[in-house]
């Protein structure tokens, strides 16, 4: 998957490498600022990144700062027993909605789930035909109607059909443009209401498709859709066709929404789950030497904490210990100090068998030994 991501970010990486052809183990802030702007990170975000760093920046320091931009207040929504699990797909025309819907459907099929599509973009006849063509190609059922018919009725029929047939997933396409923005907003709101009538709680996930080639200009589109119906997450398409991959930092920071998938090519398998760590490391690989990437911090061999590996009692004990010391758990990788509001990285030190809190300089602020998490102790 990492190789898929590297291929998808090829143009972004090439642009960074053209601006700074020689890799190094550290970089000064002025040079770093130029490189981030080259990758289409917005100026406001670049300023925020630069202000948090020392004059000379090492890979680990920049990694900690960049990864913190992917801490979302909005948690990812995943199926939790709903059948069908209904997804509403929104976005402007040309962003790649229809192709992405087909890729999602194929992805779910490969996972052993049954899928039904709803062609609720009835504003354009071409949209209906394109989705029907994809449904036929990937062999999934589709509910559709003629151009100009009520799109909310299509959504209702799609959910009702899936319920009757015991289908696992419903993916509903929507219009990306109507005669006015107000018309589009009202149509989308009506579809959301009608979905809930067809099945309480639906749509379970509202996904916005953003065109990666638009870079930072996609943020305004996202804000408009977020205001219309509320958005649960994002899929970014066409990353392989742009040198604006750095815009993902701006999108994550500005919208505070999870990025579920990224499109890195035309093939069905080129829609991959977004992994923030792989994304950040791909960008950093274009700047820093491999030696720095593999450098061992002074506290010992460390790597990011996988909180899923802890038992529930251990996780509860860790949260209690952090709270006693004035920290709140933000995500599986970060804590926030209540007094200062600063975010710090949570890592595992294999040498000392402990969990550590690291600052931006990779200094150890706090250590919790494995036995500290023993609930019997």
232 Cβ neighbours under 8 A, 6+ residues apart: 74, 77, 205, 206, 207, 257, 258
Segment 15-50, tens digit of pLDDT: 888 888 888 899 999 999 999 988 888 888 999 899
pTM of the predicted model, to two decimals? 0.76
301: exposed, middle or buried (Cβ count in 10 Å: 0-12, 13-18, 19+): exposed
Residues 6+ apart with CB under 8 A from 18: none
Q: Tens of pLDDT along 80-91? A: 999 999 999 999
Q: How far apart are CA 232 and CA 227, in angstroms?
A: 12
**Strands 334-337 and 327-329, how do they pair?**
antiparallel
pLDDT in tens, 250-299: 888 888 899 999 988 777 778 888 888 888 988 998 899 864 443 334 34
Q: Quick one: average pLDDT of 307-315? A: 71
Could you give the CA distance from residue 214 to residue 237 in angstroms, rounded to a whole number?
A: 10
């Amino acid at each position: 998957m990492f190789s898929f991501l590297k291929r998808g970010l090829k143009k972004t990486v090439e642009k960074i490498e053209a601006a700074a052809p020689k890799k190094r183990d550290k970089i000064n802030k002025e040079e770093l600022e130029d490189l981030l702007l080259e990758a289409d990170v917005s100026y406001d975000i670049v300023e925020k990144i630069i202000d948090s760093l020392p004059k000379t920046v090492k890979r680990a320091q920049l990694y900690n700062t960049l990864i913190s931009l992917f801490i979302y207040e909005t948690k990812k929504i995943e199926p939790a027993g709903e059948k069908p699990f209904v997804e509403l797909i929104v976005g402007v025309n040309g962003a790649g909605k229809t192709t992405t819907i087909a890729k999602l459907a194929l992805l779910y099929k490969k996972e052993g789930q049954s899928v039904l599509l709803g062609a609720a973009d009835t504003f354009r006849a071409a949209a209906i035909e394109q989705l029907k063509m994809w449904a036929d190609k990937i062999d999934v059922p589709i509910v559709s109607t003629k151009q100009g018919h009520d799109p909310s009725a299509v959504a209702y029929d799609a959910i009702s059909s899936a319920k009757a047939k015991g289908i696992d997933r419903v993916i509903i396409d929507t219009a990306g443009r109507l005669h006015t923005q107000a018309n589009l907003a009202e149509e989308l709101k009506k579809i959301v209401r009608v979905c809930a009538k067809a099945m309480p709680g639906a749509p379970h996930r509202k996904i916005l498709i953003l065109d990666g080639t638009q870079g930072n200009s996609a943020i305004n589109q996202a804000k408009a859709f977020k205001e219309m119906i509320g958005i649960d997450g994002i899929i970014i398409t066409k990353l392989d066709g742009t040198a604006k991959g750095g815009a993902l930092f701006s999108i994550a920071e500005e919208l505070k929404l999870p990025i579920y998938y990224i499109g890195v090519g035309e093939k069905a398998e080129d829609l991959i789950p977004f992994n923030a760590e792989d994304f950040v490391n791909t960008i950093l690989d274009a700047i820093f030497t491999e030696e720095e990437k593999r450098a061992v911090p002074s506290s010992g061999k460390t790597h990011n904490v996988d909180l899923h590996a802890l038992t529930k009692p251990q996780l509860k004990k860790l949260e209690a210990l952090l709270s006693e010391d004035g920290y709140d758990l933000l995500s599986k990788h970060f804590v926030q100090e209540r007094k200062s509001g600063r975010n710090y990285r949570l890592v595992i030190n294999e040498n000392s068998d402990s969990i550590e809190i690291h600052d931006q300089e990779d200094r150890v602020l706090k250590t919790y030994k494995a036995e500290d998490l023993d609930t019997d102790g």
